Structure 1
Amino acid sequence: MDDLDLTLLPAAVSPLVAGEVAGTPRRCRVLGAFPTCLYLDLGAHERVLAVLASDAVALPIGVRLAMPSSEIRWGVEPGAHVVVGEGRVRLPRADVVAARLLRPARVRPAPRGSAGDGWLPEPGVLGDLAHDLTAAALAGRSTDKGVRGLVGVGRGLTPSGDDALCGVLLTLAAVDAPPARRALSAVRTAVRSVLPWTTSLSAALLVAAGAGYAVPDVARLVTRLVSGPGSTNRSAGATPGLSRAGAPSSLLVDPREASDLSDLVDRVLAIGHTSGRDLLSGVSGALRAVDALDSVPRPEPRPAPRPESQEGLHRG
């Protein structure tokens, strides 16, 4: 790139940001510049475009290049402005061109299967907060306090509380059951009202998580944890609901799948400094709340008493 006056860099664009990339050109402020990616402000607080090298974490809000970061020099610093629009991101010495659409990773809703959260690390305080929020949402109680206790809590471009909240949103999006769908709607509404409390990048990722979108390893792991290790996404005979189906996960997972799942957890834990771990704390807490709701005994409906015959009253 350094030897050329202008380079055209083809990229794949996520439909979550394709409208702004294809739209009228606008000057966008650089929120963050790193070797593997740029973060650009698209105007609204929760609208962020990630320009991603091929070795960057595959955020669902980006345009993704086929080139690794070792071959790219962005040429901009935070606070600078670049032009986005007409299918391009115009950098000082290169245009990133949206050549095709990509399909961002998304959780696949499934009935709650056998418990798989034993694969996750100790969730700690974040897991407890995520559990309490999810339990309130599933019970139809207010989620405002729980959401406000997490949004924007922590440091960095994606604070720890936001990462855990993404875990809650993704878990509820992955559970194919009416109570989970209602809970997801409630949490999503509460989150939207306080998005200005956190960073623009984190707000954008929270909105994406509320729609089930995440980086590929996260989406894959949450889907597998919800449906249960050793089961398919929609196993034969499964009935949509919150109940676990089948034996304990240790009896369902063959060694190869166990190794694959362990590797998947490790890859998620490696995301960011603590982002992957914090997100999994949210997933763990949310799964505990889902399973606790299912374990609460519900009273059996009592049969209505047989009415006494009223035959004589209706005779003329």
Structure 2
Amino acid sequence: MVDQERILTPNQKVHDNLSPEERFEELKKIHPGIQTVKLFDSEVCVKLEEKVEKVKAKALKGLYKRFTVDKAPLRNKYFFGEGYTYGDQLEQKGERKERLFPEGAIDPIPSWVKKYIIKPLEKEGLVPENWINSAVINDYLPGGCIVSHVDPIHIFDRPIVSISLFSDCALSFGCKFSFRPIRTSKPLLSVPLRRGCVCLMSGYAANEVTHCIRPEDVTERRVAIIVRRVFPDAPRLTSQQYDALCERLDRKASQVDGRGGFKPPIQQPARGLKRPLEYSKPPFGAIGQQQLSDVSSSSDDDVSEHRKDCNKKPKVS
């Protein structure tokens, strides 16, 4: 839906330095690219939230592949369908450095996401049929955040679609983050995200200005389920790059003294990879334990179904 060649480098200007007239002009560009729809009622939200609890339970038991789960203080991410390198996983920082993991390195999109989220989005005409091939669950504790960023324009088509669960929040545009202690500048625009709300982001809003979730806007537990389309020609890690990434992260984890680091158990190598596609282990940091505790156990059917998926051989470029 987006012509990759027409997308320019995201606008990184600090909006605090704009004059009132410049801010108004920026807002006129951003607004057309944001759409919010109240699609899921309270009853459906409860059902989706129960499914999220099961995802957390499986993560606690270490039943997901290594890069399906990404843990951080006050925020956990669960990738399905496709996942990509970012943050500390990047050996080189910069624009368009993100890469998809090899096919098979990430757990498939759960059936409940397809049934209760993707199908209703298709039925409402918000996305084309069979268009979405990636889902991410962002699980925030109070005070959690995600820093200002632009979803990689060489990996993801537009629109970017998110569903809010558990509580209300806000999506902020044009913020600058500073750390120790964490602070944010005044947003150029803040969009309310109500529980059950769907937010679609495209155009200038998705490509030319950063967006974030500020810690002061997460006052209670909040989950965002983000569904997107990965371009078929988006760049992937080769098997050698995947091996190097695993080894680098293993070395880093071995140096951590228990404050949230982990070293996944070694499984039998999958065909085509020198290293196995390891499975995630629960964090043993206090924050990580807090976020993954008090969850319901996944059913035997869930575990059995997952183990069948685990036996599938990944494809690598």
User: How would you bin the TM-score normalised by the shorter chain?
Assistant: under 0.3
Of the two structures, which has the highest relative contact order with CA contacts closer than 8 Å and spacing of 6 or more?
2
Q: Report which of the two has the higher share of strand.
A: 2
Q: Report which of the two has the higher share of helix.
A: 1
Query: Which TM-score applies when normalising by structure 2?
Result: 0.22
Greater gyration radius: 1
